[in-house]
Amino acid sequence: MPQTISIRIDGELVSALQGQTILEAAKQAGKYIPTLCYFEGLSAVGACRLCIVEVAGTDKLLPACTTPVQDGMSVTTTSPKLTQYRRIALELLFVERNHVCAVCVSNGHCELQNLATSLGITNMRHWYNYPNLPVDLSHKRFVLDHNRCILCTRCVRVCAEVEGAHVWEITERGISSRLTSGLNQPWGQVTDCTNCGKCVQVCPTGALAEKGWAVEEMVKQNDNISGLAHRKGGQ
Amino acid sequence: MRKVKLATVWLDGCSGCHMSLLDMDAAIISLAGKVDLVYGPLVDAQEFPDGVDVTLVEGAVSSMEDLHKIQEIRLRTNVLVSLGDCAVTSNVPSMRNPIPVNKLLQRVYVEGADEGKVIPTEGVPPLMKHARPVHEFVKVDVWVPGCPPSAKAILSVVTDLLAGRKPEANPNPKFG
Ligand code: SF4
Ligand code: SF4
Ligand code: SF4
Ligand code: FES
């Protein structure tokens, strides 16, 4: 049985279990920390930096989803500084690829878009990149639109950790990073894909979607996936 | 009381933001009493006048004409508002950006045309390499995202500006 420890979140004393992350402890205490790459039940990778928090004793902003709690830790989840850095993280995601919300299947149901709204973003302070990116229509039921992919790797993890099919991987480095399927094949040619659709449902954006939906129509159904992941022995 | 000089301008957009502006029901009547609409697609004025208090800009900067217009407007406007996603993010007009301009024109006016099959050069402004948001070229004071922004959002911003207040940061800005 893991040891129970005490930490402070926004000044309030809460108990947590040794080995838990700050995010898990916060959720348990009913505190909200914004997240984007995190998905309950999948391994945490700390990719998006939306969940950064301040921890007393260090100037570094730490990702709540991958930082373990320590006895006596004092965590701040909301401050002007955190809002500023969370906005920067989001703005960089928006300018990196081509997010045209007005014509997106996920418009109105997108975690990226919702976070921008909740952080009060009205414009991007950086120049847009406008890369030329493909759309993979080869799968009979699903679409991958690289223009909307934020490389959060939720799809990679759910396919490997829950479905056990290991279809997705990130290839290349830095700004050239791309999601890729199979042995760098079109998705429709990857025989390992079971067509389960888990990747589509956990994708926070309109990057992965079911075919046949028009603008605003793709609503992700992923409530049951965390439960499934827990039963598989995930985190 | 001096009426506020208001202008609107339509760059690379679909006019939806102007439609939304007109969609504010009875509020537009009391608004009309407070402003002098001095320029824009809704009025018949050839020249953008000097000393405009507030200009609402719809659309992205996409051609050399857009660029010259917005630079001129900035010089003659006190408060410049990027109205709608095309002005704020370049939105739908930006979907051409990954395609080189010459290929784009070739595809539309030559390969895609049933007759004529020439790329027009006379009487049309040259396209820029990219359609881009207004604030990448000139200083913008207020952003109102949305495709289109709701009449309510526009009214609230315009009301604040007319009263000489800095518009309250929109609590729920939404792209798309
Ligand atoms: S994925 Fe989200 S942020 Fe990107 S275009 Fe679609 S709705 Fe907008
Ligand atoms: S549909 Fe299922 S098996 Fe196929 S890539 Fe997505 S998660 Fe993996
Ligand atoms: S396709 Fe979706 S889930 Fe996969 S990395 Fe891109 S944004 Fe994340
Ligand atoms: S949710 Fe923690 S880094 Fe993405």
Q: Residue A66, Cβ neighbours under 10 Å: how many?
A: 17
Atom of ligand 4 nearest to the CA of A35: 1
For B136, the closest of A101, A120, A127 (CB atoms) is A127
What is the spatial distance between Cα A3 and Cα A5, in angstroms, rounded to a whole number? Answer: 6
Contact yes or no for A207/A145 (Cβ under 8 A): yes
CATH number belonging to domain B4-94+129-162: 3.40.50.700
What is the spatial distance between Cα B120 and Cα B25, in angstroms, rounded to a whole number? Answer: 40
What is chain B's mean pLDDT, rounded?
A: 94
Interface of A with B in 62-121 (CB under 8 A): 94, 98-104, 107-108, 113, 116-117, 120-121
Structural domains in chain A?
A: 4-78 (3.10.20.740), 85-210 (3.30.70.20)
> For chain B, what is the radius of gyration of the CA atoms?
17
What is chain A's mean pLDDT, rounded?
A: 96
pLDDT in tens, A81-138: 999 999 999 999 999 999 999 999 999 999 999 999 999 999 999 999 999 999 999 9
A90 lines ligand 1 (CB under 6 A): no
Dmax (CA) for chain A in angstroms is 53
Angle ∠(A214,B172,A121) on CA atoms, nearest 5: 90
pLDDT of residue A46: 97
- Specify the pTM: 0.95
Q: Residue B62, Cβ neighbours under 10 Å: how many?
A: 23
- CB contact B8 to A (< 8 Å): no
pLDDT along chain A (235 residues), means of 10: 94 96 97 98 97 97 98 97 98 98 98 96 96 98 98 98 98 96 98 98 98 96 93 70
What is the spatial distance between Cα B14 and Cα B16, in angstroms, rounded to a whole number? Answer: 5
Which residue from B59, B64, B61 is spatially nearest to B41, judged by alpha carbons? Answer: B59
**What is the value of ipTM here, to two decimals?**
0.92
**Which sequence spans correspond to the domains of chain B?**
4-94+129-162
